[in-house]
Amino acid sequence: MPFSIATWNINSVRLRMPIVERLLVEHAPDVLCLQETKVPDELFPEKAFRKLGYEHIAFHGQKGYHGVATVARRPIELVEKRRFCEIDDSRHLSVRVSAGGMSILLHNFYVPAGGDEPAPEINRKFRHKLDFVAEMNGVRAEHDAVSGSVLVGDLNIAPLEHDVWSHKQLLKVVSHTPVETESFEAMRRAGDWVDLMRLNVPAEQKLYTWWSYRAQDWEASDRGRRLDHVWSSPNLVDHFTGYEILRPARGWERPSDHVPVIARFDLD
């Protein structure tokens, strides 16, 4: 049974609803996980999603900042809206969805960006980011014979050398500093998560999902980073059939600086 999950930091769902609609019409993922929705729950544009056939909706939002939402064409069950670092911002949502003979626990994350200065002693945003990633060690890839887990989202860290346009030039830039990448990979391994986007892609191949708004010509300069991720429990690896980074979406009208990633599975 084909099953697809898309993840996208949309940078304001209400502002960019036209391109969200384009994604859903042209690619029709079974589930769409959005980050940085920037809308309180009572103002989430549910009607627009329902009109497109995405009648099952869960959200965890707040006014003007952060926020995550998961919408689906099939029933989903809300599992948790987890609070991290004892801070009341909206950065996590988990739901359960059935596909084929499997029950999938799906985590949707928006990890703090961390500000500009990679020094936790002077930058509280960077301290928050490191603490958040540390707390994610408690999010495990739960699985058994009839269930598995998937974790997606804007995790705001590009962990590998070729997840950024220049490893050397970005070693002191937030999102690719050694303290971030090492704690990130340690957290992934501790939770028994598999990085599906690198599963069959050579380590030396560049992979990007984000291009800065600051670039005058993002496509020509191609100074990207892989900040968006798709992980799964080990038992879903054999069901994973591939993924697509929708790079053209960076050039759509009024785009996000992130592009969607669509992961595909074949579930018995």
Residue-wise pLDDT for 243-254, tens only, equals 999 999 999 999
Over range 48-69, report the average pLDDT. Answer: 97
* CA–CA gap between residue 109 and residue 118 (Å, rounded): 21
Q: How confident is the model at residue 268 (pLDDT cuts 50, 70, 90)?
A: confident
Question: How confident is the model at residue 195, as a pLDDT?
Answer: 98
Q: What are phi and psi of 103, to 5 degrees?
A: -105, 120
Q: How confident is the model at residue 128 (pLDDT cuts 50, 70, 90)?
A: very high
Q: What is the dihedral of CA 198, 202, 206, 207, to 10 degrees?
A: -20
Joined tokens for residue 199? 């599963």
Q: What are phi and psi of 215, to 5 degrees?
A: -75, 130
User: Which own/partner contact pairs does 74-77 have at CB distance under 8 Å and 24+ positions apart?
Assistant: 74/30, 74/31, 74/98, 74/99, 76/31, 76/106
* CA–CA gap between residue 172 and residue 179 (Å, rounded): 10
Dihedral sign for Cα atoms in the order 192, 263, 203, 172:
negative
Q: Is the pTM of this model over 0.85?
A: yes
* CA–CA gap between residue 53 and residue 44 (Å, rounded): 16
Question: How confident is the model at residue 50, as a pLDDT?
Answer: 98
Query: What are 56's strand-pairing partners?
Result: 72
* CA–CA gap between residue 12 and residue 38 (Å, rounded): 5
